[in-house]
Amino acid sequence: MRTRVAIIGAGPAGLLLGHLLQRAGIDSVILEDCTQAHVEARIRAGVLEQGTVDLLEQAGVAARLRQQGMVHHGIELRFDGQRHHIDLSGLTGGRAITVYGQHEVVRDLIAARQACGAPLLFEVSRVALHGLDSQSPSVSFDHGGQRQVLACDFIAGCDGSHGVSRQAVRPGALQVFERTYPFAWLGILARAAPAAHELVYAGHARGFALFSMRSPEITRLYLQCRPDEDLAGWSDRRIWDELHARLETGDGWRLNEGPVLQKGITPMRSLVTEPMQHGRLFLAGDAAHIVPPTGAKGMNLAVADVRNLAHALAMHYQHGRDDLLAGYSSACLARVWRAEHFSWWMTSLLHRFDDHTPFMARLQHAELAYVCASQAASRMLAENYVGLPFAPLPA
């Protein structure tokens, strides 16, 4: 087998990269170890920045997003039993977020790739990367009961933080910056009509809580919990009681309850890999960086990465330019670290830490009050939450 770009991973990063390359006339093969059904059913974050929505529109894969995506022009911060609205659009010149599940984006991109007949192989195993420092890298893998070798010009590692791509780089060539948080999120999907039209971030003495939604019929909710929390100890009734306690306000607002369709524990960590490339391997999305979900940046950073990588590859093949490939990491990392800081800041603003003394609680409360009272502070939150505009792509 032979292709120009071998893409490891059929998540949003790998699928969008393949789609952008296809539109630029650059062939690629996408390899994924899971089944198509599993990939399309993975429930992840669903808050799309303005720039992400615009790029999906430009790429021609936003038809269902336009029909089903829920555009939000603000978010709500809650503390002291009171609600505080942050006018995202009013503070950012009309920019907004769109709630549209990551698995829906994945389905749209899979459908687009299969419609054009470009190679997308599911259920591959024993994937190994070779020749990263050479001019002729390759990927070996098992598929359909046979061992195969895919020769290529470049490899895009889009296979997440536990994938084979980053591990294939020789020790010491990459530096990893990492922080693990002393808490996790207990998340549920419930068949219940959302009780609010915007996302709600709540700081509470019992811990953080987040109200979100996936559709007009499905509510997504999270509770701060211990990282070693035993899910078996959380009955549906206990979860709803805790959500009511942390989210409800003094004006009578209440959650809508319904059958819990899914529950799970999400660990919280930050991770950045520098550089995001080695030889002919380029890392994108979770393979290169992880953010705590508080800032809703994970998939949006992946989209920003592959926007840069697809353009750099197009300039290589169409104009013989290699400077953009050489500068891929630096082009991505400025945005990555800004998103890491914002996600850390949002996390620190709203969660209870192990050393949460009365002094630290007062400082946190003062910060929340300032963000809600100061237009400058609200604008900082809004600009980062809707996503800073993409840097222009070099001509």
> Could you tell me which residues come within 8 angstroms of residue 223 by beta carbon, excluding any fewer than 6 positions away?
185, 186, 187, 207, 208, 209, 239, 242, 243, 246
Q: Which of 73, 204, 297, 351 is an active site residue?
A: 297
DSSP assignment of 215-233, as one string?
Answer: SSSEEEEEEEE-TT--GGG
- What is the edge-to-edge ordering of all strands in the sheet holding 281-283? 120-121, 28-31, 5-8, 154-157, 281-283, 277-278
First-residue to last-residue Cα distance in the chain:
32
Rg (CA), the chain: 21
Burial environment of residue 366 by CB neighbours within 10 A (0 to 12, 13 to 18, 19 or more): exposed
Q: Which of 12, 137, 194, 293 is catalytic?
A: 293
Catalytic residue among 12, 100, 194, 201: 201
Q: Is 385 one of the catalytic residues? A: yes
**Catalytic residue (one of 72, 103, 311, 351):** 72
Q: What is the DSSP string of 150-183?
A: EE-SEEEE-S-TTSHHHHTSPTTSSEEEEEEEEE
Catalytic annotation, pick one of 181, 222, 328, 385: 385
**201 given a catalytic annotation:** yes
Instruction: Give which of 381, 296, 368 is closest to 86, Cα–Cα.
Output: 381
Name the residues annotated as catalytic: 72, 201, 293, 297, 385
